[in-house]
Each structure stands twice: as C-alpha cells, then as structure tokens.
Amino acid sequence: MPQGKPDSVPDDGLTTRQRRGRPLVIVHTGPGKGKSTAAFGLALRAWNQGWPVAVFQFVKSAKWRVGEERALTTLGGSGAGGVVAWHKMGEGWSWIQRDTDDHAERAAEGWAQISRDLAAQAYRLYVLDEFTYPIKWGWVDVDEVISVLAARQGNQHVVITGRDADPKLVAFADLVTEMTKVKHPMDTGQKGQKGIEW
Amino acid sequence: MPQGKPDSVPDDGLTTRQRRGRPLVIVHTGPGKGKSTAAFGLALRAWNQGWPVAVFQFVKSAKWRVGEERALTTLGGSGAGGVVAWHKMGEGWSWIQRDTDDHAERAAEGWAQISRDLAAQAYRLYVLDEFTYPIKWGWVDVDEVISVLAARQGNQHVVITGRDADPKLVAFADLVTEMTKVKHPMDTGQKGQKGIEW
C-alpha cells in the first residue's frame, strides 16, 4: 500500500520539495523474477510524465523483451507521452556501425554511450537492463560507473537490473530492491512461455 | 539472465509443450518495491501477444497507477496488440451503478466480477493489483479465491500483487516472487515523487 511518511527527516539543508525531486539511482537485483519487468513498469510512469526514456539492453538474446520493446516504442511513438529510445547490445548498438563479436567490447561501448547521454542530459529515465552482468564480468568498471552516476547533472533517474549487483553499486544506489524466488514453475519442469517470459 | 532449463521434469503425463503453455497463477508479494510495477510489465508482454488484458485495481487512491493506467489503455486502444480493460475500486467499479462507501462490499463485488470474467474466459491475463489486502482483511475468502482459480478453464493467467500474501495462496500459486526492501529513499527522509512512484 502507498505509504507517504518517511521514517526520519535528515539534516541535509534541503526542503521536502527539493529532497522529493532528487534524481534516483535504483537497483533491482536478486535471483527472483520481476527485476527487468518492474523497470519497464517504471518506464510507463516516466512515459506518462512526458519524460524522454532510454533503454539499454545488455542481453544477447533477441527473443527476450520483445513485448516490452514493442509496447514502449509504440507508446514512445504515440505522441501522448515521452519519447522512448531502445538500444540493444545483442543486435549491435544502433550507433555502432562496425561489427564485433567481442561482448566485452560491446558492453564497454554501451556504457560509453550511456556516459555521453548522461553528460548531455539526453533522457530523464535510463533503464540499464541486465547491466549488473558486464560489471560482474569486469567488462565495465564499477568505480567508473559510480563516479559517472554521482557526477550526473539535472534530473536523470537511472534503473539498473540484474542478479548479483556489485556491493559498491548497492551501497551507492538510492533505492535497492531484491527479488527473491519463493516458487517458480521451472522447479516443476515447466519452461518459459510466451506472454509471460517474453 | 534468461535460463531455459528446468531443474527436474515431473512425471505428470504432460508433454513439454503442454506443460509450457499451462496457465499460471503468479503472486508478487513482500515489503519491497516492484510488486505491481512488475505485474504491469507482464501486461506489456501479454499486450504484445495480442491477449485481452484486465486490470482490477484494489486500491483507494486515484493518484497511484495513473501512469500505468494511461500507458496500458493507450496500448489497448492502439490496435497494435491486445485490448486492455482497467477497473478501479477507488473510483467505483465501472459495472456497479449504485454508490457505496463500504470497502468490504466493494472488494467483494470486484472479486465477484473477476469470478464471472474467469467463468466467461473474458481475458487471458488478469492483474489483481493489491488483491492480497481484501483477502488479508477478510473481505474476500481465500478458500473461495483458490477454488475459483483452480476451476478456471482455458488459458487464463492471473497475477496477484500485494504484501502479506495468504500462505494458502502462496502454496497454491505456480510462481511466487518476494520483493524485499534493501534500501529505500524514504529511509533518508525522501518522499515519493512523480514519474517514479506514480
């Protein structure tokens, strides 16, 4: 249920209004479902506010997220809310012309573009989908990520999804939710299905 | 990361294809963020498959979910995917003409409509948003809910969100995820903000 009451009010010299509007770094992590799904749900709210939204999809498979991609790009093109830019590593980032099979290099290029977009204040919501993995695998340096996020100007919210979020990222983020698996149909031999998993 | 491998294959006489397509009861519970947001993210996938989707919003406040409502009804009306029906208890269920301030009665009427829609196989995805509360408060009987869900025909997926899901419902459901709060800006005095919380 919606709860509007903060547990305590900090002595940070900000008014409630200033504090309320502070842009957030949000992390959805843990082994359960819903990390990315909830991030795309947040994008609906951002779209409704008229905010420009960017999704950077750090996953290889083209099958996953097809529903979210078509829904959000349909909304972005409707003119009724914010615009939506959708970037996929798996099919090659759109701004990269040359072809490479090096995942580490691709992931680093994705992060470099995010850094440029943050510097340009290109969007108000960034969904960095499955971005914990390139950090975990050492393809993108977590200290650099935190430093770029900490230095970002304006009103730019950033949502990062994926398992095993780096403890430094968790410590830095404003809002962290862990999705825990209680029960999953795959436990009883059921595989993923369309409309639910993609 | 997407994982397609089941841990074990049950001896239930079903083929993998039959098992894969089995309609699910999904529960998003726990004290963390993302329970409803992830349910609306699932609705994007259903919409993309062309499925008719119904949302039953068991919350009083009109402010919450405005972004999701406008996004999903925009998508539903686009003709590019499934249709979307959005029902709100807070402003009175659309199919109820008379006015009542009795929340228990309203919640029971919402559940009665869901039961009728399930019997008529009116939709393929039902989002019962914050439906754990009327169950918790005794306004809707959990045994009846389980009995109706167990008897539903066809291909009807049902997602139920909210804290403190009834243990019987958790035991019955196919997929249960608990959202756990690791860190929240309200802990440091920040209140909800537009584009993020609604």
Given a cut of 60, is residue A168 above it in pLDDT? yes
Quote the pLDDT of residue A18.
Answer: 65
pLDDT tens track for B100-139: 778 899 999 999 999 999 999 999 999 999 999 999 999 9
What's the whole-number mean pLDDT along residues A131-137?
96
| DSSP 8-state secondary structure symbol assigned to residue A178 | E
Which range scores top for mean pLDDT: A188-197, B95-104, B153-162?
B153-162
Neighbouring C-beta atoms of residue A54, cutoff 10 Å:
23
Task: Return the exposure string of B140-151: e unless at least 16 CB atoms fall within 10 Å of the residue's CB, then b.
Answer: bebeebbeebee
What's the whole-number mean pLDDT along residues A136-160?
97
* Nearest alpha-carbon partner for A177 in A34, A45, A59, A8: A34
Within a domain: A10: no
Given a cut of 70, is residue B33 above it in pLDDT? yes
- Number of structural domains found in chain A: 1
What's the whole-number mean pLDDT along residues B165-180?
95
Q: Which residues on chain B are in Cβ contact (under 8 Å) with A159?
A: none
Given a cut of 60, is residue A3 above it in pLDDT? no
Q: Which residues on chain B are in Cβ contact (under 8 Å) with A34?
A: 28, 34-35, 38, 41, 177, 179
Given a cut of 50, is residue B153 above it in pLDDT? yes
Quote the pLDDT of residue A117.
Answer: 97
Kindly report the CATH number assigned to the domain that includes residue B29: 3.40.50.300
Mean pLDDT of all residues in chain A? Answer: 88
Within a domain: A62: yes
Quote the pLDDT of residue B145.
Answer: 98
Within a domain: A154: yes
Within a domain: A125: yes
Within a domain: A41: yes
Within a domain: A4: no
pLDDT tens track for A72-92: 999 999 999 999 999 998 777
Q: Which residues on chain A are in Cβ contact (under 8 Å) with B197?
A: 2, 45
Within a domain: A12: no
Residue of chain A whose alpha carbon sits nearest to that of B163: A1
Asked if the Cβ–Cβ distance from B187 to A16 is below 8 Å, we say no
Q: Which pair of structure tokens corresponds to residue B90?
A: 């807070």
Residue of chain A whose alpha carbon sits nearest to that of B63: A2
Quote the pLDDT of residue B1.
Answer: 41
Q: Which residue from B36, B176, B189 is facing A10, i.e. has the nearest CB?
A: B189
Domain range for A147: 22-179
Given a cut of 80, is residue A60 above it in pLDDT? no
Q: Which residue from A70, A130, A177 is facing B48, i.e. has the nearest CB?
A: A70
On the 0-12 / 13-18 / 19+ scale of CB atoms within 10 A, B163 is middle
What's the whole-number mean pLDDT along residues A126-153?
97
Identify residue A99 by its one-letter amino acid code: D
Within a domain: A198: no
